[in-house]
Structure 1
Amino acid sequence: MTYSENNQITDLSIIIPVYNVEKYIERCFNAISNVYKSNNKIKIEVVFINDGSTDNSLLKLVEFRNSYNYVKIISQPNLGLSEARNTGIKNANGRYLLFLDSDDWIDLDVILKQLTLTFDNKLDFLSFGMRYFFENNDDSFPRPLHPINYNKIHTGIEFLTQGYQPSSSCLFLLNRNFIIDNNLLFTPKISQQDVEFTVRLMLCAHRGYFSELIGYNYFRNFGTISLPQSQEKLEKYLSDAIIVAELIKSNIKNYDIKDKDVIKTIQKNYNSVIWNLLWRFIVKPKEVSYPFKVKCIHELSNKKLYPIKGALKTRFQRITCLFFNVETLLKLFYKFKSH
């Protein structure tokens, strides 16, 4: 991938993939523009990646660009969230990057305060907290904290072994040079891409920081860019978990990891992805067909991801795996619950 020349004249690039979100994009952008009017000592750019939208999203983006000189629009065919973010990385000029989904919004004042901390400490990344909002519900809920050392600088591996749960890439301020030097791009054409991306992020980072401050607002709705909207897309979303687990496992070889504790931590993460898939088939028995479930088990087996071997995160996972790993019994149970 070819990157734009980065003269580091911008402090922060906010990368926003856009696909058919005309209903939400103004809220997303206004949360930035309204704060930036009175807090513009730090230079930002907002990089919209129009990922083949067919509604009026692009018209709204043009309105933003005509009114604000820090807005950039890049249009491409519909390639998906991963490729849109990669395009943003390629074209960003900021010292630090922040990914923002177009139906969510950020608390920019919190982000800018944290950005100063990243500059002062030359961090590879800084992570902040998130609160959830739900459609047709005015209540919000903070995301539970990770079982890690907050407000201290550690390597990414230290955070991973402490118990960081791989999650949204939108909760990070990312040093752009660090991202480029380590070729930390998103895997194309898969969902759940953030899980495997943030594992690689942790394995590469020498200076990371987790803040307890909340800077991101996640809006849960059924039309979001990252959630499946048909049975076909649902099945792809679920089967992509197998690819994600395989990618996480491959890091042991790709990064030549020898430390037993780190290997155990990576095992916990890819095994948990597999466990979550098998458990979902139990708690949502009619969500997908029995043949699809069997197909997933066979694919896991072919990739040497099943039966589940090695470390898991919780005692409940370890106990239930005694059942999960008996393939004949698991298939019979799935078949019974599917009727």
Structure 2
Amino acid sequence: MNISFIIPVYNVEKYIGKAMMSIIDDNWGKYKYEIIVVDDESPDNSITVVKEIKTRHPDSIIKIISQKNKGLGGARNTGLENAEGDYIFFLDSDDYILKNTFRNLLELAYEKQLDVLEFGAIRVDEEYKQIDEIFINTTNNNIYTGEHYVNIINFANSACNKIYNREFLIRQNILFIERVYIEDAPFNVEVFAKASNVMAIDLIAVAYLQNASSITRNKRTSAYLLKFIKDSILVTNRIKNLAAFYIDSNSENTIKKKVAFFVTGILWMILKGNGLDKLQKKELLTQLKENGLFPYYHKTGSLPRTIMLFILNLIGSLRII
């Protein structure tokens, strides 16, 4: 098996068919693929759609795994545990791959014996019209260690624009944090801390759907916002701790910039925090302090955001928040 596509499924009956068929209808040549659908207690007809596709395409290897709700990260971990491909791709159920691209990615990954290969993507609207291009980077056919890579490439937090060597992930015991938002970011920080052979290619290979009904694009309820901020603190603390895995001071500094970037966003959410009362805000600030994230003095990689972090640190130290 050359590549395993891991697709978490939860309430996506409108989109899952396109995601799966983009794989099945591709031209794979000598390469073999499997599709691992992880049903995370989806309440709609998503799995019915998956089973119908599996019946119509008996020549495709489609595995359906059901589990108790573990969130996106937990579903990906389950998929990884059951995968057999040399390489892994985490495909979100409302996204899809582009024609005749993954053969090229696999050819390059095998040729260079890569741990990670990062590539570009497009964003599309709900009529599948292109909005823009994102994550366009290249290492000009050069291979780098993960440490060096983070210093020259502004790598995407997303796990959905990279193929990963499965044996590398298993050997290094790299998994997603379960039942949290933004689980991709610490996953990739750990990946690059431990990877030996990494490349980026400017080939665009996947389309991201900008789903207007997505919870991340709708107005946040106070309960959602509270969980999102708590998860963000957990994830950012994990990234802060992972910075110690980077031996080179420049690469460690790059990861600390990412921490500072996230901390700025967290503080702004707390300060703005519509729907959060004073006690909740105080508890969130206490959680930040206990994790060594507030105050946090470091450049963010963005001058406006660095200035904002300085101001937020000052406001917090004066106990105005």
**CA separation in 2, counterparts of 1:268 and 1:16?**
31
Q: What are the equivalent positions in structure 2 for 1:179-198 lying under 5 Å apart?
A: 179-198=169-188
Match of residue 313, structure 2, among 309, 320, 325: 325
2:65 aligns with: 74
Match of residue 54, structure 2, among 43, 65, 68: 65
Match of residue 97, structure 2, among 91, 94, 106: 106
Q: Secondary structure at the match of 2:160?
A: helix
Q: What are the equivalent positions in structure 2 for 1:136-151 lying under 5 Å apart?
A: 138-145=129-136, 149-151=139-141
**CA separation in 2, counterparts of 1:87 and 1:152?**
33
Q: Secondary structure at the match of 1:186?
A: coil
- Asked if the contact 2:135/2:156 (under 8 Å) is kept, the reply is no
Shift of 1:327: 3.5
1:152 aligns with: 142
Pair 1:273 & 2:262 matched: yes
Q: Secondary structure at the match of 1:168?
A: coil
1:3 aligns with: none
Q: What are the equivalent positions in structure 2 for 1:171-186 lying under 5 Å apart?
A: 171-186=161-176
Identity rate of aligned residues, in percent? 31
Q: Unpaired runs of 5+ in structure 1?
A: 1-9, 335-339
Match of residue 263, structure 1, among 240, 246, 252: 252
TM superposition score normalised by structure 1? 0.86
Number of aligned residue pairs: give it: 318
2:292 aligns with: 304
Match of residue 26, structure 1, among 17, 21, 27: 17
Once the two structures are superposed, what CA deviation does each residue of 1:47-85 show, in whole Å capped at 9, x if it has no partner? 111111121111111112212231111111221111110
Match of residue 96, structure 1, among 87, 96, 109: 87
Match of residue 234, structure 1, among 225, 237, 250: 225
Q: Secondary structure at the match of 1:54?
A: coil
Once the two structures are superposed, what CA deviation does each residue of 1:171-229 show, in whole Å capped at 9, x if it has no partner? 11111100100111111121100011111111111101101111111112254487787
- Asked if the contact 2:122/2:130 (under 8 Å) is kept, the reply is no
**CA separation in 2, counterparts of 1:136 and 1:66?**
27
- Asked if the contact 1:12/1:95 (under 8 Å) is kept, the reply is yes
Pair 1:52 & 2:41 matched: yes
**CA separation in 1, counterparts of 2:50 and 2:92?**
14
- Asked if the contact 2:38/2:65 (under 8 Å) is kept, the reply is yes
- Asked if the contact 2:139/2:201 (under 8 Å) is kept, the reply is no
Pair 1:125 & 2:113 matched: no
1:35 aligns with: 26
The answer to which of 235-244 and 220-229 deviates more is 220-229
Shift of 1:166: 4.1
The answer to which of 205-214 and 262-271 deviates more is 262-271
The answer to which of 133-142 and 198-207 deviates more is 133-142
Once the two structures are superposed, what CA deviation does each residue of 1:281-311 show, in whole Å capped at 9, x if it has no partner? 56x6536555443332221112111111234
Q: Secondary structure at the match of 2:2?
A: strand
- Asked if the contact 1:15/1:47 (under 8 Å) is kept, the reply is yes
- RMSD over aligned CA atoms reads 2.4
**CA separation in 2, counterparts of 1:108 and 1:88?**
23
**CA separation in 1, counterparts of 2:16 and 2:163?**
21
- Change beyond 3 A, Cα 1:163–1:41: closer
- Asked if the contact 2:3/2:33 (under 8 Å) is kept, the reply is yes
Q: Secondary structure at the match of 2:129?
A: strand
- Change beyond 3 A, Cα 1:130–1:290: farther
Shift of 1:155: 1.1
- Asked if the contact 1:265/1:311 (under 8 Å) is kept, the reply is no
**CA separation in 2, counterparts of 1:331 and 1:23?**
47
- Asked if the contact 1:45/1:70 (under 8 Å) is kept, the reply is yes
- Change beyond 3 A, Cα 1:195–1:330: farther
Q: Unpaired runs of 5+ in structure 2?
A: none
- Asked if the contact 1:81/1:226 (under 8 Å) is kept, the reply is no
- Asked if the contact 1:32/1:106 (under 8 Å) is kept, the reply is yes
**CA separation in 2, counterparts of 1:317 and 1:206?**
32
**CA separation in 1, counterparts of 2:134 and 2:47?**
32
2:76 aligns with: 85
TM superposition score normalised by structure 2? 0.90
**CA separation in 1, counterparts of 2:212 and 2:225?**
12
**CA separation in 2, counterparts of 1:99 and 1:144?**
16
- Asked if the contact 2:147/2:248 (under 8 Å) is kept, the reply is no
